[in-house]
Amino acid sequence: MLRTWTLPVVLAVVAALAGPASAQNYPVRPIRLLVPFGPGGVGDITARVVAQKIGPALGQQIVIDNRPGAGGIVASEIVAKAAPDGYTLLLLNNAHAVSMSLFKSLPYDTLRDFAPISSMATFSIVLLVNPDSPIKSIRDLIAEAKAHPGKLNVGTIQIGATQHLSSELFKSMAGLDWVHVPFSNTGAVLTGLRGRSVQLVFEFIAPVVGQVKAGAVRALAVSTRTRFAGLPDIPTVHEAGVPGYEVMSWNGLGAPSGTPKAVINRLNQAVAKALAMPDVKQRFAELAVDTRPDTPEGFRKLVASEIVKWGKVIETARIPRQ
């Protein structure tokens, strides 16, 4: 009889001790980081820059696994269903917040199925016009759009992309009416601007900062609450005429829900140290990206607030669910 009740007790004690021990020794093998888009883009590069730093700090290699497809669903589903042991991570980004309202159904829930580790980078949108456009400021833009409702053509990539939703948020907050013209990629958007099929463009800073500095396009404002260091003379939308406007695209690391807190904290500390390194800051600046370390709880609050924010924008703009 002693054995019949002692064995379960022993097993329970061993299990209780094994959890903290494994977390304390973590990691003991390479870690896989799934990136929900192809190699070479700014998001992919930021993931690789940080991975190259946190790998040595943890004593294990961080293996980047690019899994583009279905708006990030392919990579996200893999991580959501992976063992919660810290060896399969996901590059979370603002698309994970948008997709909660953009898709009719998902094989995961962004808040329920992922444990946030830390945000890493933020990306700003810039509003562009042709250099000879009579629109020279945000106030000029608002005046023009109100004087000719429904006549201004605004170009962005893809319906439901951050650039598109940024334009819809601006339109809603400023009380404007204009025509959205979607393009397949950044090059096509800029061609449309040069060809004057659109008069205004919303695009990430990274792929256009060189053209802004060269004077090939004129930047009216940036979408973040603070000015972009690489274009210090360009105001924010908030200060230039639409108080409260802020769009901040972001990315960060997440793990499957249920990953031990000790593992999450270990990864969080490694990310924070990596983002504080001067060479990482310099590389991010070259990419027109700002570093943004955060606590796991702080990152969770960011994701939750972004889900609510973009859900309202999608509803207001009446963007059909995919």
User: Sorting pLDDT into bands at 50, 70 and 90, what band is 1?
Assistant: very low
Is the per-residue pLDDT at 6 higher than 60?
Answer: no
Higher pLDDT residue, 37 or 128? 128
Average pLDDT over residues 169-189: 95
* Percent residues over pLDDT 70 in the chain: 93
The Cα–Cα gap between 49 and 33 comes to 12
> Lowest-pLDDT range, 60-64, 236-240, 315-319?
315-319
Is the per-residue pLDDT at 11 higher than 70?
Answer: no
Q: CATH for 29-123+248-317, among 3.40.190.150, 3.30.565.10, 3.20.20.70, 3.50.50.60?
A: 3.40.190.150
Q: Please count the residues of the chain.
A: 322
User: Sorting pLDDT into bands at 50, 70 and 90, what band is 3?
Assistant: very low
pTM for the model: 0.85
Cβ neighbours of 283 (radius 10 Å): 18
Is the per-residue pLDDT at 115 higher than 80?
Answer: yes
Q: What is the pLDDT of residue 179?
A: 97
Domain boundaries, the chain: 29-123+248-317, 125-240
Residue keyed to tokens 């310099």:
282
User: Sorting pLDDT into bands at 50, 70 and 90, what band is 221?
Assistant: very high
Q: What is the secondary structure of 192-237 as a DSSP string?
A: HHHTTS-SEEEEESTTTHHHHHHTSSEEEEESSSS--TTSTTSPBH
Q: What is the pLDDT of residue 229?
A: 87
Q: What is the pLDDT of residue 14?
A: 42
Q: What is the largest CA-CA distance in the chain?
A: 91
Higher pLDDT residue, 281 or 229? 281
CATH level 2 (architecture), domain 125-240: 3-Layer(aba) Sandwich (3.40)
| Closest-CA residue to 265 (of 62, 52, 20) | 20
Q: What is the pLDDT of residue 22?
A: 56
204, β-bridge pairs? 125
* Common-topology check for domains 29-123+248-317 and 125-240: yes
